[in-house]
Structure 1
Amino acid sequence: MEHLSWTERVRANDAQFGPLTAGIDPHLPDLPAVFDDGPDWILRYTDFVLSTIIGSVGFMKFQAAYFEACGLAGMEALSRGMKRARGAGIGVVLDAKRGDIDATSAAYARAYLVPKSAGGSGDFEADCITVNPLMGPDTLEPFVDAARQHGKGILILCRTSNPGAAWLQDRISGNRAISDRVADLIRSIAETTVDAQGLSPIGAVIGATAASEARRLRELLPNAIILAPGMGAQGGDVATVRALRGDHDGDLLVPVSRGLLRVSDRAMSRDDYGQLLLDRIAHFHPLAAGKDDTAKAG
């Protein structure tokens, strides 16, 4: 596999597949019952999903919590799944939302961003990781250092897609919303890491549900790759996705998780489920690209 930095991978895969990012959130009650056949179901399920959709998307986002909830089998599935996706040239985001004192953040960065050849374990290496900035700029420094040294990316929570986000992120501090102040912090770091094509590996998470904030935050983050969750189950719309798109190729990733994987009919066969995944990917591709102002993802 050709080694590319995070920004190079994003540009290349966006050009081939677009910004749609398949969210891998294995939660058995939401999946066909055919996968419910033993404690290691998550290994077989993750392998099935990857076998089905590799070649249809350029990015995958693995939600660490769902794998951790399944114990050792889940962690093995996460490790194998990320390795397989990266081996296929897919840009892999680990959605772990880590953030702690500097020494602990350094351990997290080593676990998820440092290649085995450079001293990491290699078991959970991702191309990019989501990070929580709540404890302050010093907690971000180990992740930023790892991104610089190893060609990785980080996506810092800025204005998230959950219903309670406004409680803190929209609060005013010093005449500015807290999300704006976080965007200022992200921009100050990103400006020091911009590549020749105008993208920084230091990006932001801004929900596709944040309709009134989207354009303002994008203007504050001209060089950042923005991960825009919220399409599908959370009701994000195409107009907001379009507002979050900037001026650089590859500067927006649009994940769809529950809207891709979840089913209401648990009696569905494996073959029918595989076809459903492909049909949903085909449905979401134009929406993620912002090609239909009137449609809402279901």
Structure 2
Amino acid sequence: MSNPTWGELVENNVGRFGDLVAGIDPSLPEIPAFFGQGNEGAAWIGDFVNFILDTIEGHVGFVKFQSAYFEACGLVGLAALSAGMKRAREAGIGVILDAKRGDIGATAAAYARAYLTPASAGGSADFEADCLTVNPLMGPDTLAPFVDCATRFGKGLFVLCRTSNPGAGWLQDKMAGNRLVSDRVADLIGGYGTVPDSASRLASVGAVIGATAPNEGRRLRQLLPRTIILAPGLGAQGGDPASIHSLRGDIPGDLLVPVSRGLSRVEDRGISASDYRQLIISRIEAFKAAIAYDYAGRRTRLA
């Protein structure tokens, strides 16, 4: 039996668990102190990833690994990233690798092989994701290898379109010819179709549009009716549920909402393991309730 495409995985997991994405951004100063006890160097990071996956399994359908935090911990961090991605995918959790890659020709193809190509097709599978974030700044030709690979193997992409950071408007809200830069990127994203033979109604190439820019988000959603939007910014960056709902389309699964520090960060680093686990679960349920949506038009709480 073949693996589901990214769109099929999204529709299935959103139907089961809702559209919350648990972000894993390992930063030792922001998590309980017990992770660092008895560990040397960056050895804590593997324990943290396993703890988070143990905790979220059965509560969320997606996890987003922020590659930079793992890379910052060297080989130990990369080993933890690889193991965590494999474990999550084996559990049926949709894995988004937030690496924001983008480069010319052969280099982009190498990135696509690293993150989107199964071992059976020549990839190493060490960092195989279900979906990858990519940067379009260098132009459409730099996206082509990623799109080709995603189409071939049923993977997904999230292309940076209108991001959540305070300085996003410096370029993304500027005019290029007679169009805003973000609109031109949205046109590019919307031009990519679904994966051939996929049962999903959702396109495999999605957009990163921050929940912190609801006005821009509403405009861009009109250009992207069948696109999955990844909407960072809820919680720590100031996005709210009303902003989130402005990014929704008409298809369940067309919006995924990542929360990272809002789930894992603690003020009291002396918290116990059992209390920390319960804290994460309670935060998950609170975020799911806040963003739950009935696509017939009614807000609802998930059962």
**Which TM-score tier does this pair reach, normalised by the shorter chain?**
over 0.9
The 5-angstrom pairing of residues 246-265 of structure 1 reads 246-265=249-268
Q: Percent identity?
A: 63
Q: Which amino acid aligns with 2:162?
A: R
Deviates more, 1:193-202 or 1:27-36: 193-202
- TM-superposed CA distance for 1:198, in Å, is 2.3
SS of the aligned residue for 2:190 comes to helix
CA contact (8 A) 2:132 2:156 kept: yes
What residue number does 2:51 align with? 48
Q: Which amino acid aligns with 2:265?
A: R
What residue number does 1:128 align with? 131
What residue number does 1:8 align with? 8
The 5-angstrom pairing of residues 36-185 of structure 1 reads 36-37=36-37, 38=39, 39=41, 40-185=43-188
Query: Which of these residues, 266, 269, 274, is aligned with residue 266 of structure 1?
Result: 269
SS of the aligned residue for 1:200 comes to coil
Residues 100-122 of structure 1: per-residue CA shift (max 9 Å, x gap):
01111100000000001110001
1:34 lines up with 2:9 in the alignment: no
SS of the aligned residue for 1:213 comes to helix
What residue number does 2:282 align with? 279
Q: In 2, distance between residues paired with 1:288 and 1:43?
A: 30
CA contact (8 A) 2:154 2:195 kept: no
- TM-superposed CA distance for 1:288, in Å, is 2.9
1:244 lines up with 2:247 in the alignment: yes
Q: Which amino acid aligns with 1:178?
A: V
1:231 lines up with 2:234 in the alignment: yes
1:289 lines up with 2:292 in the alignment: yes
What residue number does 1:209 align with? 212
- TM-superposed CA distance for 1:254, in Å, is 0.3
- TM-superposed CA distance for 1:36, in Å, is 1.1
CA contact (8 A) 2:151 2:195 kept: no
Change over 3 Å in CA distance of 1:196–1:4 after alignment to 2: closer
Q: In 2, distance between residues paired with 1:281 and 1:161?
A: 21
Q: In 2, distance between residues paired with 1:235 and 1:2?
A: 40
1:21 lines up with 2:24 in the alignment: no
Structure 2 unaligned blocks of 5 or more:
none
CA contact (8 A) 1:194 1:200 kept: no
SS of the aligned residue for 1:224 comes to coil
Residues 222-261 of structure 1: per-residue CA shift (max 9 Å, x gap):
1111100000100111112111111112111000001011
CA contact (8 A) 2:11 2:200 kept: no
CA RMSD after TM alignment = 1.9
Change over 3 Å in CA distance of 1:13–1:192 after alignment to 2: closer
SS of the aligned residue for 1:189 comes to coil
Q: In 2, distance between residues paired with 1:2 and 1:265?
A: 45
Residues 176-219 of structure 1: per-residue CA shift (max 9 Å, x gap):
21101100111112378695542110100000111111111001
Change over 3 Å in CA distance of 1:197–1:89 after alignment to 2: closer
Residues 44-67 of structure 1: per-residue CA shift (max 9 Å, x gap):
110111111111100000000000
CA contact (8 A) 1:239 1:290 kept: no
Q: In 1, distance between residues paired with 2:73 and 2:21?
A: 23
CA contact (8 A) 2:5 2:195 kept: no
Q: Which amino acid aligns with 1:225?
A: I
Change over 3 Å in CA distance of 1:90–1:181 after alignment to 2: same
Q: Which amino acid aligns with 1:5?
A: T
Structure 1 unaligned blocks of 5 or more:
none
